[in-house]
Every structure is written in C-alpha cells, then in structure tokens.
Amino acid sequence: MKILEIRGMRGPNYWSIRRHKLIVMKLDIGEMEERPTDQIQGFADRLEKFLPSMFSHRCSEDYEGGFFHRVRIGTWIGHVIEHIALEIQTLAGMDVGFGRTRSTGEPGVYHVVFAYEEEKVGIYAAKASVRIEQALVDVIPYYMTSDIQAMREIREEERLGPSTGSIVEEAIGRNIPWVRLNRHSLVQLGYGINQKRIQATVASTTGSIAVEIACDKEDTKNLLEAQSIPVPRGRIIYSEEELKDAVEDIRFPVVLKPVNGNHGRGATINVNSWDDAVTALAAAKRISKGVIIEKYITGYDHRVLVINYKLEAAAKRTPAAVTGDGKSTIQQLVDKVNADPRRGYGHEKVLTTIKIDDTTNSILAEKSLTLDSVLKDGEELWLKRTANLSTGGTSTDVTDIMHPYNIFMCERIARIIGLDICGIDIMTPNISEPLNEIGGAVLEVNAAPGFRMHLSPITGLARNVAAPVVDMLFPPGSNARIPIVAVTGTNGKTTTTRLIAHMCKFMGHKVGFTTTDGIYIQNHLLQKGDCTGPASAEFVLKDPTVDFAVLECARGGILRAGLGFHKCDIGIVTNVSADHLGLKGINSLEDMAKVKGVVVESIMPSGYAILNADDQLVADMARPLECKIAYFSLDENNAIIKRHTANGGLAAVAENGFITIMRGTWKIRVDKVVNIPLTFSGKAIFMIQNILPAVLTGYIRNFKIEDIKLALETFIPSPAQTPGRMNLFNLRNSLLWLTMPIIRQVSRQLQSF
C-alpha cells in the first residue's frame, strides 16, 4: 500500500458542505485491490482483537458491530483504514465520527476521507492507520500505545486552549466567523472591518496599559493598596541579603513568587523556615530577577472573574490532593484519583491527571513521607503548592454565595487596573463574608485569566463565561460579518468578479477581491498570481480595512482545501464546461458541477444563489439549496426563467437590446447592451453572461438602478481593469481582439528580431 497524497480540508468542500475539517488521503492499495477482507485469512479476528472498541462502529449496517460484520463478509482495505483512522483518534481523546471511502476511478486507488479535530493529528492518524492495516494483513506485532500518546501530545501542542476555545465555540454558536491567526492563541472573530481579536483571554478591547500593570505585581499591589483594597504586606527583593531583611520584617509564614510569573510558576506558599525561604527564592528567580515576598494569608484560594467590569463567576480552588484510607500508599491513592474518567492528559477532559514531580517530592520530604507512605483514614495531603487546574487541582463554583461587598470590591478592582477581562485571586476563610472584616486579602490580578475552572467546576454550577466576552466584543446591533460575494464557474469568473468589485467600489465600499491574476485590496494589487483558493479568500477577510469581499473560487482551491469561508451572502455560478476535466479525480461534467456547487451550497439562508439558466447543470444546482434563488439568461423566453418569474422569482435577462431585471410580471431595464463597454458595442455576446449576474448582485444589495447603470458604463475593458481578459486594440486603423497573454507573446517575438 502506498499513500499518494494527504490533504486537509478547512472549509466547505467537495466531500461535505457541513463538515469542514476533513483529511482526504489518496491511497493506492496495490495488490490488495484483488483481496477484500473476507479473502485475508484471520484478518477479521485480528482486527477485532486489536481494536475491540470498533464494535461501536455501525457503518452502513446501522447497528453496533455493523462494521465488523462488513469486514467478515468482505470490504475493501481502504474502507478499513478509514475506520481505523477514526477509532485511533477517538482513543486519543478526539471523538470524530464521519468518514467515507470512494474510488478515484483508477484501479486500486481510493480517496479515504475522515474527520479530524486538529489537522496535524488527522495527518498522523492517516499514516498510522495505514501502518496498522499493513501489520494486521502481514500478521506482525504492532504497538499502538506510542501512536495514541503521540496524537495526544500533538493535539495539546496544536489546539486552542480551553479558554480561547470556549470563546470561539460561543462565537460559532452565534454564527460569528473566526480565523486562527497563528499557531498559538491569537484568533480573529468576524471579518474585515468588523473583526475583533482575542489572544488567550485578552481581547482587542483590552488596554495595553492595564495589561502592563497587571503583569507588574508590585505596581498592581501599590495601586490597590492606595485605593483601600486589602492586600498582603510585602516587598520586592533580588538577593538573599534582601530576603533576610524581608523575613525579619514580615515574619513567617510568607509567600515568594516571581514578579512576572503566571499560572503559579515559581511560586511557593506557606514558607515557614529560612532554608525553605532560600529554596523558594531560587525557584522564583528562575522565572524573573525580581521576587515578591509577602505575608502568607490563611484561608482558601479563590478566583473571581470580572468581564466588562461585571462579576461573572467565582471559584474556590483546591490543589491536587489525595485523602488517606488507612491502608493505601500515597502512590496508590494518586493512581485511584487519576482513574477518575473526568481526568485526562492536558486539557482533554474536565480535570487533569496528577503528576508526581519535584514539587510533589519536595512536599513529601517536608512531611517525612514517601510515595510508599500510608496516610491515616480521612487525612488529606496536598500534592502541589498552588491550586492550578493544569497541575491536577480542582474547583468549586461559589458565585452565588459571594458577599455583595466582595462583588463590589472585585468590580472596582477591574476598574482600578483597567481590565475588561480580569481574574482576581483572593485568599479568604469565607468568600460569603466581607473580605475586609475577616482578614482576607487580594493576592493578584490577572490579565489573561483561565476560564476552565468556571466552565467545568468539579462541583457547583458551570458558568458560560465565554458568552459575556462575545457580548462585550459584539454588543446587540453590531455586525461581525462583511458582505461576501463568491463567484465560481468554468469561464467568466474573473470578469464577473472584477465587474462586481468595480460596482461595489462605485457605491463607496472598501472592496477586497481575489482573481486568477492576484489579490486586490481597494484596487491595490497586493499579491500576484492565481489567487482563487482558500488562502487568498482568507487574506481578504483578515484585512481590517475591507468592508466588502468579492471572491473568485476556482476548482483547484475547492478540491485542495475547501472554501476559505464558511458562509457567503451571494454565490454565483457562471457555467460548467469540460475545461480541466481529468484533474484530481474530476472526470465528468457532473463531477465538475458538484465541485462548483460547493459555493452555492455555502450561502446563508437569507442570501441568494445566482445561477445560469442557460446551463442545465448549473440550473439544477438550485434543487438542494435552502437560500433564495435568482437566475440569469441570454433568452428572456428561457423556460426556467419564465417559470421562476411567474412564481415571483428574480431574474436578469438580455431582451430587446437591454440588460433587464425581471420579477413576476414587471421589468426594469437597466441599460442598453451597446452602451456597456464590456460588450464591445454589443459584439461580445458572451460578455453579457458576465454582466447579468453582476447586475443581479447589485440589485440584491439594494444598489440604485442608476448607480448600477453608471458602474456598467464606467467599467472599461483594458489591461488595467480586465488584465488577461479580452481587450480591443486599435493598431494602425486595424481593430484587434487580443488578450494580454497573446500580447506578451507577440512582444517577446518582436524583441527577438
């Protein structure tokens, strides 16, 4: 077996309009084409023993065990590989369930298609599934444990964190588009001029001064103390000598933490001896030169979350811990806690697996314990010095029991620092009593607070804290999108795209558009070349100056990675012809029509599909669509046009020398064909097919008829406005119909003389 190609889909695509994240593997199974699974001795038994969890796969039989039944009665190896790729991702904590395997038309060569959560994991799963299949066929041992762990590690490295991910999921639920801007946590919500950005839980609305203050713990403490917020006594130190003076002044117990630390890194709490203080100082100095030493406040660790200056959630945090039963060792107790199905690797589950590390060993040594020690029944042992969930800690929601004074104080703190998304760490014996009356204190203010403890507390109510973030970024009445017109077809795409862009620019829009010759932002060519794929579409949609996008969508980009957007407002199909058949498994006009149909199947329900009624394959695309339909034709008596308009539908036709819009029984004559330069005084009839959908686009967008007319008459076919398209040149009183490629070729030949 040989993998010929692996591609990742990232938007609506040839294989699925709704499932955007798909791996498409082109696989040559070679001689296995002649050996379905029922002809491979013992294969079904080996597969069931190796992956018994695949019993849940129903396949086309639609019952548990259905896939194993298919294997026993005989199916192709590519089909088995598809199911293995799905199952090993599930075993690695990514439950993906969609797949299909189809022949490419070449003997023994298949497209194996399956869903993924993280593309790099999907690619790994594709390769691993082929290795596993080959081992099962060849009856050789295969150890899958390393594959599962490798996929988990790739996922943790590639995925958005739980906080950023929750904001993105909330945006998706509100039909707000999003684009990941780097491989970390920088994300764009919305398109073009209406976009907002988040990085982790810092938003584009968050002030940089506020972030700087929060990152400087000493500045934060001074500001809060000046506003009568209770904070622990302390100072910044840089050496052991300063540590000695600080300890004499503050007295044990103390806390030491780096000035610029986060997530508990380098922090040591409840330090009660000089030796421990020296060790804690060294740990903090590995993170930053300056170290904060302050009085250790007794009580429980709480995190309060304020969003848009309103308290949204509060959680009591507990470090990773075990409770003795009088007979189990500490290691056995840890193993028992980690067996909780809610715990997993990294952020894959609600809780994180507890790991024994240097901090744990240090705590055990302080208490003269080892992992083999047995705790008394009911005795609790904290295994970490901080309560971070990422180290195995737990959280309990306490939002509803917070004292009104504490709520007032936290909302005031967010204003004092200036953070619209603000995490406040509080140590207090009881959050339901006023902090200033029971000796509690504010320990820190965080500019990028984690949401996980509020989204999935171990006890108490889960809080959708992502919702107020999206509310803040996109308040009622605001729009996250910009209008998107997507143009596809075999011929005429570029001219139609350019004409629509010209019309929108004429109406005052700041237009970004893509064509086969480049990407244009406000008529400035920013990238040259064939820019009709998803990356070029994203380029336009990421531009913060653009308020209208016109995107040419060619066959190649759709097949390579899908569309560069999830939904558009208007989709246009100019025609479908035999050009480019035989490439990437597209061998018939029907296949080509399915590729082009991806664009119009991705239109929002409130949008319009504009279809060529003179091309039956294009006209038939209307059948599965849920959006509105408009047709265009060179013949006003076209049967589809007549039937559509009789039912109140919208259409554009060429009739009696006019470009005309029709709906029901009325007509609007937009302009004479001979007055439109693009038609070359009416001689280029085929150009009318490019004008009609553009006119419909303008009408649907509520452009005035006189403005549409003026835009048509000012769009001059020339190397500037229609490069590479047909242009008319007057050379020594002779009229030549030339395209720019022909002109360049003639020019090179003349230069060679």
CB 708 within 8 A of CB 723: no
| pLDDT surpasses 60 at 274 | yes
Q: Is it the case that residue 752 has pLDDT exceeding 60? A: no
Q: Give tens-digit pLDDT for 69-82.
A: 999 999 999 999 99
636-684 pLDDT tens trace: 999 999 999 999 999 999 999 999 999 988 999 999 999 999 999 888 8
Is pLDDT of 753 > 70? no
CA distance 119 to 507: 40
Q: Quote the longest CA-to-CA distance of the chain.
A: 106
- Averaged pLDDT, 724-750: 46
Quickly tell me which residue has 């444990």 as its tokens. Answer: 145
687-700: per-residue pLDDT in tens?
999 999 999 999 99
Among candidate residues 304, 299, 295, the one with its CA nearest the CA of residue 251: 295
Residues 359, 386: Cα–Cα separation, whole Å:
10
Number of H helices, E strands in the chain: 25, 34
Q: For 187-198, what is the mean pLDDT? A: 98
Q: What percent of the chain has pLDDT over 70?
A: 94
Query: Model pTM?
Result: 0.87
The more confident residue out of 265 and 99 is 99
Q: Which amino acid is at 745?
A: Q
Of residues 23, 67, 31, the one with CA closest to residue 47: 67
Domain boundaries, the chain: 2-158, 233-295, 484-722, 726-753
Cα(6)–Cα(44) distance, integer angstroms = 27
Q: How far apart are CA 603 and CA 675, in angstroms?
A: 33
Lowest mean pLDDT, pick from 314-323, 413-422, 577-586: 577-586
Task: Give all strands (DSSP E) within 181-309, no chain letters.
Answer: 186-189, 196-199, 202-203, 234-237, 254-258, 268-271, 291-295, 300-307
- At 699, which amino acid appears? Y
CATH 3.40.1190.10 fits 484-722, yes or no: yes
Distance CA 530, CA 444 (A): 52
Q: How many angstroms from the chain centroid is the CA of residue 507?
A: 33
Least-confidence region, from 314-323, 413-422, 519-528, 581-590? 581-590
pLDDT at residue 587 greater than cutoff 90: no
Q: Is the dihedral of CA 158, 164, 166, 169 positive or negative?
A: negative
Predicted pLDDT of residue 270: 87
Q: Is pLDDT of 7 > 90? A: yes
Q: Positive or negative, the Cα torsion across 713, 717, 723, 724? A: positive
What backbone torsions phi and psi does residue 196 show, to the nearest 5 degrees?
A: -130, 160
- Cα–Cα dist 322/539, whole Å: 51
Classify strands 343-344 and 441-446 as parallel, antiparallel or unpaired: unpaired
pLDDT range class, residue 582, cuts 50, 70, 90:
low
Q: What is the pLDDT of residue 298?
A: 87
Q: Are the C-beta atoms of 707 and 743 separated by less than 8 Å?
A: no
**Average pLDDT of the residues in 180-205:** 95
Predicted local confidence at residue 455, as pLDDT: 95
Question: pLDDT tier at 744 (50, 70, 90 boundaries)?
Answer: very low
Residue range 407-458, pLDDT digits in tens:
999 999 999 999 999 999 999 999 999 999 998 999 999 999 999 999 999 9
What mean pLDDT comes out for the span 18-32? 95
Q: Phi and psi (nearest 5°) for 199?
A: -135, 110
Segment 34-63 mean pLDDT: 92
Element housing 603 (H / E): strand 603-612
Q: Is the pLDDT of residue 111 over 90?
A: yes
Does pLDDT of 733 surpass 90? no
Q: Which long-range contacts (CB under 8 A, 24 or more apart) does 359-364 make?
A: 359/383, 359/384, 359/385, 360/384, 362/279, 364/330
Q: What is the pLDDT of residue 747?
A: 42
Instruction: Give 594's pLDDT tier (boundaries 50, 70, 90).
Output: very high
Q: 425 pairs with which residues across the strands?
A: 303, 444
Cβ atoms of 408 and 386 closer than 8 Å: no
Strands 268-271 and 254-258: antiparallel
Residue 269 confidence class, pLDDT cut points 50, 70, 90? confident
How would you write 373-393 as a 3-class SS string? CECCCCCEEECCCCCCHHHCC
Is it the case that residue 177 has pLDDT exceeding 80?
A: yes
Q: Is the pLDDT of residue 706 over 60?
A: yes
Give residue 741's pLDDT.
45
Nearest-angstrom CA–CA distance, 132 and 32: 15
pLDDT value for 137: 95
Identify the pLDDT of residue 734.
Answer: 47
E-state strands within 618-682: 628-633, 650-655, 658-663, 666-672
Give the C-alpha distances (Å, rounded to integers) separating 726 from 507, 572, 574, 658, 740. 26, 21, 17, 22, 8
Q: Residue 126: what pLDDT? A: 98
φ/ψ (deg, to 5) at 429 = -65, -30
**Side chain identity at 631, as an amino acid letter?**
Y
State residue 580's pLDDT score: 66
In this prediction, residues 500-513 reach a mean pLDDT of: 97
C-alpha dist (Å) from residue 591 to 38, 453, 588, 595: 32, 49, 5, 6
Exposed, middle or buried by CB within 10 Å (0-12, 13-18, 19+), for 430? middle
CATH architecture classification, 233-295: 2-Layer Sandwich (3.30)
* High-pLDDT (> 90) share of the chain, %: 83
Distance CA 312, CA 305 (A): 6
Residue in the block written with tokens 């066929």? 137
Going by C-beta distance under 8 Å and a sequence separation of 6 or more, which residues neighbour residue 731? none
Residues in CB range of 548: below 8 A, 6 or more apart: 192, 482, 483, 485, 504, 509, 510, 511, 512
Report the distance separating Cα 401 and Cα 461, nearest Å.
12
Q: How far apart are CA 108 and CA 28, in angstroms?
A: 6
